[in-house]
Amino acid sequence: MIKREIEDLVEISRFYGVSSDYVIAGGGNTSWKDKEELWIKASGTSLGFIDHKGFAVMRRDLLKKMNHKKYSSDPDEREKQVKADLSSSCADPESKLRPSVETNLHDIIGYSFVVHLHPAVVNGLMCSRDSRLVASELFPKALYVPYTDPGYTLFCKVYDEIKKYRDNYNYDPKVIFLENHGVFVAANTIDEVKKIYSDIFSKIEARLDQQLVILDKPVPEEVTRIIPAVRMMVSTDSLKTVVIRHNTLIANFYQNKESFARVAAPFTPDIIVYCKSAYLYSEGGDSPEEITASVRESLSAFMEENGYYPRIMLIKGYGLVGIGDSWRSASTSLDVFEDLMKISWYTKSFGGPRFMSSEQISFIDNWEVENYRRQMATGDLRKNVMSGRIAIVTGGAMGFGAGIVSSLYGEGANVVIADINEEESIRRVDKLNSNGGNNRAVFIKADAGNPSSVASLVSETVKFYGGLDLMVSNAGILYAGGLDEMSEEVFERVTRVNYSGYFHCAKYASAVMKLQFEYNNMHFSDIIQINSKSGLKGSNKNFAYAGGKFGGIGLTQSFALELMPFNIKVNSICPGNFFEGPLWSDPENGLFIQYLRAGKVPGAKTIDDVKRYYESQVPAGRGCRVEDIMKAVFYVIDQKYETGQAVPVTGGQNMLH
What would the pLDDT profile of 255-306 be if each residue is shown by its tens digit?
999 999 999 999 999 999 999 999 999 987 889 999 999 999 999 999 999 9
Cβ–Cβ < 8 Å for 313, 282 = yes
Tell me the C-alpha distance between 24 and 21, whole Å. 8
Domain termination residue (choose one: 330, 349, 378)? 378
pLDDT of residue 76: 79
Return the half-sphere exposure (C-beta side, CA atoms, 13 A cut-off) of residue 308.
Answer: 12
Cβ–Cβ < 8 Å for 54, 98 = no
Q: Are residues 312 and 350 in the same domain?
A: yes
CATH number of the domain at 361, please. Answer: 3.40.225.10
Residue 287 forms part of a structural domain:
yes
pLDDT of residue 39: 97
Residue 187 forms part of a structural domain:
yes
Neighbours of 248 (CB within 10 A): 12
Q: Are residues 641 and 541 in the same domain?
A: yes
Q: Are residues 405 and 543 in the same domain?
A: yes
Q: Are residues 227 and 202 in the same domain?
A: no
pLDDT of residue 608: 86
Q: Are residues 236 and 366 in the same domain?
A: yes
Neighbours of 110 (CB within 10 A): 15
Cβ–Cβ < 8 Å for 28, 47 = yes
pLDDT of residue 369: 52
CATH number of the domain at 625, please. Answer: 3.40.50.720
**What phi-psi label fits residue 229: left (phi over 0), alpha (psi between -120 and 50 degrees) or beta?**
alpha
Q: What amino acid positions are annotated as catalytic residues?
A: 545
**Structural domain containing residue 202:** 4-206
Question: Which residues of the chain fall short of a pLDDT of 70?
Answer: 367-383, 657
Q: Are residues 42 and 84 in the same domain?
A: yes
pLDDT of residue 574: 93
Q: Are residues 456 and 502 in the same domain?
A: yes
Residue 212 forms part of a structural domain:
no
Residue 519 forms part of a structural domain:
yes
Q: Are residues 100 and 238 in the same domain?
A: no
Cβ–Cβ < 8 Å for 437, 413 = no
pLDDT of residue 507: 98
pLDDT of residue 411: 94
Q: Residue 479 carries which DSSP code?
A: -
Tell me the C-alpha distance between 275 and 312, whole Å. 7
Residue 608 forms part of a structural domain:
no
237 three-state secondary structure = coil
Q: Are residues 269 and 156 in the same domain?
A: no
How many Å from the N-terminal Cα to the C-terminal Cα in the chain?
68
Neighbours of 587 (CB within 10 A): 9
DSSP letters along 143-172, please? Answer: EEE----TTHHHHHHHHHHHHHHHHHHSS-
Reference 132, options 148, 117, 146; nearest CA is 146
Q: Are residues 404 and 332 in the same domain?
A: no
Tell me the C-alpha distance between 218 and 215, whole Å. 10
Residue 133 forms part of a structural domain:
yes
Residue 583 forms part of a structural domain:
no
Domain termination residue (choose one: 175, 206, 237)? 206
Q: Are residues 415 and 286 in the same domain?
A: no
Residues β-bridged to residue 143: 176
Longest pairwise C-alpha distance within the chain: 99
Domain termination residue (choose one: 378, 406, 427)? 378
Cβ–Cβ < 8 Å for 388, 412 = yes
Residue 101 forms part of a structural domain:
yes
Q: How many domains does the chain have?
A: 3
Distances (CA, A) of 599 to 377, 396, 541, 594: 59, 30, 9, 9
Model pTM score: 0.89
Q: Are residues 305 and 329 in the same domain?
A: yes
